[in-house]
Amino acid sequence: MKSIHPVILSGGMGSRLWPLSRVKQPKQFQPIDGANGPSFLQATALRHRGDMFHEPTIVANAAQVELISEQMLEIGCHARIIGEPVGRNTGPAVLAAALRLLETDPEAIMLILPSDHVVNGDLNGVIGRAGAAARDGHIVLIGIVPRYPETGFGYITDGGELEGRPGLHRVKAFVEKPELEVATRLLSEGGSYWAAGISVVRADLIVSEFGRLEPATLAAVRQSLDQGREVGGAILLAELPFSTALDEPTERAIFERSPHVSLAPASVAWSDVGAWTAVHSIGEKNAAGNVLSSEVLAINTRNSLVRGCGKLIAVVGMDDVIVVDTPDALLVTNHSNAQLVKNAVNQLLKTGRREVETHLRTGLSQTDLQPATTGVARIVIESGNLGTVTGTGQAGSVVTVATGTAVLKIAGEPVGAKAGEIFFVRPGETATIANGGTESLILVSVDIEPSAAKQQPALDGLPTGELVDALQVGRRRFVA
């Protein structure tokens, strides 16, 4: 019987995972494996499905509601989405979800989850036992058995087992991101667990605790929900009242101050994948300890992470390096400095660089990618997006599908163009092209000058307009 509502908190950028993660396309929407697999958000939703769980509630930036809807649709998930007009940390987000759930389920039990973690193991078994305790009034915090002395995580220390509650412990103390010496001691002494940001609690208890500890925030969030508007099935919170809510995580606002908290240890493989070192740690390594994408050649290289985006990358005689290539930005660092990627992002934000805001997602003019004199442009369209190609040569442009699947609208019907196929765009006309696959669609556009145009089949009589009709000649598609 379904009893637990997953509440997925999809906020933040994940700046230490730039250039994969961008302000407008943050980490949680990117594929975990960097290729064709599910995104972090999709994997989180899929992890907690079945007889024990309702469909999830997702709280996120209001600007990302459409993207969330698309990603949930891809995995057949009918999520309830709450859009935040401004970021106020996880406390108000959790409270908004609790109030929303109580409208239809007065006995709602919430499983509060970050959207961008990787888990392997029987976490749902621990959650099922925690759900029974939550029903009886416990705020159950999931603590991960630590594998090494991590200084970037908070810790929860064990205060002893609760009588009559197998697997449930008292919370002795919270330790916030300790120094290495303290983290090492906590690990050696035992009884301390990584704070994973995962908890199980009754929705009405969250609301009552906010009413007791932060009544102004409860009033603000309740008002923002009452004044919110529904758009495409999502509820968008009202900005003015929501912006006055407490800007704190749920842990600091409620959990660390509540007498109802308890601890449920979980012995699972878990990572918050907060930096490229973590991506390397969870990746499939070869004999040299390298995690490489298919276009990478590594010689005399060890313990490295190299991810490409289509072109060949050769790494020779390097140890402990991190190389991440995207169509518009390249990151080169090493394991010991991977945390400093966040500093680079801050610098890019200060200078207003587009590369920190968004990926290269749509067709661009030749001058955006290469000098106009070359007459050649490389155009990248990410999965689920549209791009444009404009015929810029004197006789138009020939566009080759290098990788992926393009979808062209021909005679009113979408037609796929696979890798190796080409199509023609007349001079001055703009063709709109969709990425019809799950990998990046890479196109190469080449200007046609009059001498080259004479060698092409005649185009007279083709109707004009944006991708309307086409003449197919062999593996070519000529688009008006």
Percent of all residues in the chain with a pLDDT value above 90, rounded to a whole number: 61
pLDDT, one tens digit per residue, over 442-456 is 888 887 765 444 444
The structure's pTM equals 0.72
DSSP H stretches of helix in 243-383: 250-253, 276-282, 341-350, 354-357, 366-369
pLDDT recorded at residue 375: 64
pLDDT recorded at residue 103: 97
**CA distance to 12, 273, 301, 311, 479, per residue, from 295 (Å):** 30, 23, 15, 6, 32
**CA distance to 164, 300, 333, 342, 463, per residue, from 455 (Å):** 84, 48, 48, 52, 21
Tokens standing for residue 245: 């809510």
- List Cβ neighbours of 99 (8 Å cut-off, separation of 6 or more): 203, 207, 221, 222, 225
pLDDT, one tens digit per residue, over 52-62 is 999 999 999 99
b or e along 173-212 (b: 16 or more beta carbons within 10 Å of the residue's beta carbon)?
ebbeebeeeebeebeeeeebbbbbbbbbbbbbbbbebbee
19 upstream amide cis, omega within 30 of 0 = yes
- What's the residue count for the chain? 480
pLDDT, one tens digit per residue, over 353-401 is 989 988 774 433 333 333 333 467 778 888 777 777 777 767 778 888 8
pLDDT recorded at residue 386: 77
Per the prediction, the chain carries an average pLDDT of 85
pLDDT, one tens digit per residue, over 232-254 is 889 999 999 999 999 999 999 99
Strands 109-114 and 4-10: parallel
Tokens standing for residue 180: 């290495």
pLDDT, one tens digit per residue, over 275-288 is 999 899 888 899 99
Return the minimum-mean-pLDDT range out of 316-325, 414-423, 450-459. 450-459
pLDDT recorded at residue 373: 36
- Ramachandran category for residue 195: left, alpha or beta (phi over 0 → left; psi -120 to 50 → alpha): beta
pLDDT recorded at residue 454: 44
- List Cβ neighbours of 202 (8 Å cut-off, separation of 6 or more): 107, 108, 109, 110, 134, 135, 137
* 444: amino acid identity, one letter: V
Q: Spell out the domains of the chain, with CATH numbers in brackets.
A: 4-271 (3.90.550.10), 276-355 (no CATH), 366-479 (2.60.120.10)
If residue 120 lies in a helix (H) or strand (E), which one and from where to where? strand 118-120
- State yes or no: pLDDT of 409 exceeds 70: no
- State yes or no: pLDDT of 107 exceeds 80: yes
